[in-house]
Structure 1
Amino acid sequence: MNLDDPRAQRSRARLRTAILELAAVKDPAAITMSEVAKHADVNRATVYQHFPDVNALVTDAMEDAVEHVAHAAALCPLDAPGDDVPQPLNDLFQGIADNAALYRRMLGPQGSALLAARMRERLTTELVTSFREGRRPAGFDDVPDEVHAAYLAGALIGVITTWITKNASVSAPTMALAFWRMFRR
């Protein structure tokens, strides 16, 4: 299969959308390839041409979310005041709130440890790159870039997970501000 073929790209996009819609309302472990095919309005064989199983499809579909989290966090200006949340961070928390059911299912107790690890890894990579471009908070020169980035990535993923699974009634702007204040200290 040629992944550059527009038909293959359309099929993959439909499959990603279908799995994310299904995963927002149902445990991914209980989703079948047949359900995905029906929801995406494609033949079941098409699903298997692109993905060997539901886990591979979920992982692939969540890659955009992982990328969004990592990119938004790395864009935050480090010189913003503690009470002035950078817009990329506000956008990040609002995007998570808008898709809370999906994130809750993916990062919650029954969720994918692989997804949380992937998010942490991707975020760490983005932050290391950002640090090496001169966008690192002052006062941490004695800490290796990778260690500092991993610490911040773990903190952000932990805050997001706790927020969406235990404190979902807290607004996105309130959580973004809380995280920003903790991050800045």
Structure 2
Amino acid sequence: MPDTRHDPRAERSRAQLTDALRVLLRDRDPREISVSALCTEAGVSRPTFYQHFGDLDEVAVAGIEDRFRRIRAELPDCDGPEGSYRLLLAWLEELDAERATWQRTIGSGTAFSASRDAVESWLATQLARRVPGASAPVVRYAAAGFLGAVRAWLLQEDGPERPSAAELAESLVAVSARVLGGRS
């Protein structure tokens, strides 16, 4: 598949498809979404879909990657300890604001395994930047645990026991510091 991400028409089609998937995921289980339904929602043809993506999971991953880039771009100076925390908090707040969509994307039993992998990889990259001396297996372990905690939080019922995004961020930073050898 040719790399068409810098062609404005291709970028527009990719954005239409990722946005349409996010809209559909607000109300539907991922297993109920077909390529045809996505194309109809996006206003593009099936051949256009297959010019850009091999399957729905690739659309979900592209949407997640675009959202990560947007969150990072909206936060100035994310490289220091305070910046990393702000990035984490912004991500958790976005998850909470679109909870149903994210539950269907990275929650348990979802059809989008590559989406979970993409989120875990992004978390591993953030942790590795934060703790450059940590070994790759430790970083992957921490990222997987981090994602597990976030997924559990997404699935948790509303109520006084459910922490806010800020409370979860504080907890995750503390646990990550312990897992990564006291170097958060």
Q: TM-score, normalised by structure 2?
A: 0.75
2:107 is matched with: 108
Distance 1:59 1:122 in 2: 11
Q: Closer, same or farther in 2 for the Cα pair 1:167/1:77, shift >3 Å?
A: farther
Q: Once the 2 structures are TM-superposed, how far is the Cα of residue 108 of structure 1 from its aligned partner?
A: 1.8
Could you tell me which runs of 5 or more consecutive residues in structure 1 were left unpaired when the two chains were aligned: 137-143
Aligned partners of 2:57 and 2:115 also within 8 Å: no
Q: Partner amino acid for 2:39?
A: A
Residues 1:87 and 2:92 aligned together: no
2:172 is matched with: 179
Q: Quote the RMSD (CA, aligned, Å).
A: 3.1
Distance 1:114 1:155 in 2: 17
Q: Residues 95-174 of structure 1 correspond to what in structure 2 (within 5 A)?
A: 95-111=94-110, 112-132=112-132, 144-169=134-159, 170=162, 171-174=164-167
Q: Closer, same or farther in 2 for the Cα pair 1:146/1:29, shift >3 Å?
A: same
Q: Closer, same or farther in 2 for the Cα pair 1:70/1:153, shift >3 Å?
A: farther
Aligned partners of 1:67 and 1:122 also within 8 Å: no
Greater C-alpha radius of gyration:
1
Distance 1:55 1:89 in 2: 24
2:182 is matched with: none
Q: Once the 2 structures are TM-superposed, how far is the Cα of residue 50 of structure 1 from its aligned partner?
A: 1.8
2:59 is matched with: 57
Q: TM-score, normalised by structure 1?
A: 0.74
Q: Once the 2 structures are TM-superposed, how far is the Cα of residue 30 of structure 1 from its aligned partner?
A: 1.5
Q: Partner amino acid for 1:24?
A: R
Q: Partner amino acid for 2:146?
A: L
Residues 1:41 and 2:43 aligned together: yes
Distance 2:125 2:119 in 1: 10
Q: Once the 2 structures are TM-superposed, how far is the Cα of residue 146 of structure 1 from its aligned partner?
A: 1.1
Aligned partners of 2:20 and 2:38 also within 8 Å: yes
Q: Once the 2 structures are TM-superposed, how far is the Cα of residue 158 of structure 1 from its aligned partner?
A: 1.1
Q: How many residues align?
A: 169
Aligned partners of 1:12 and 1:50 also within 8 Å: yes
1:32 is matched with: 34
Q: Once the 2 structures are TM-superposed, how far is the Cα of residue 49 of structure 1 from its aligned partner?
A: 2.1
Residues 1:10 and 2:12 aligned together: yes
Distance 2:30 2:8 in 1: 27
Q: Partner amino acid for 2:13?
A: S
Q: Partner amino acid for 1:166?
A: Q
Could you tell me which runs of 5 or more consecutive residues in structure 2 were left unpaired when the two chains were aligned: 179-184
Per-residue CA deviations over 1:105-126 (Å, capped at 9, x if unaligned) read 1222221333222322332234
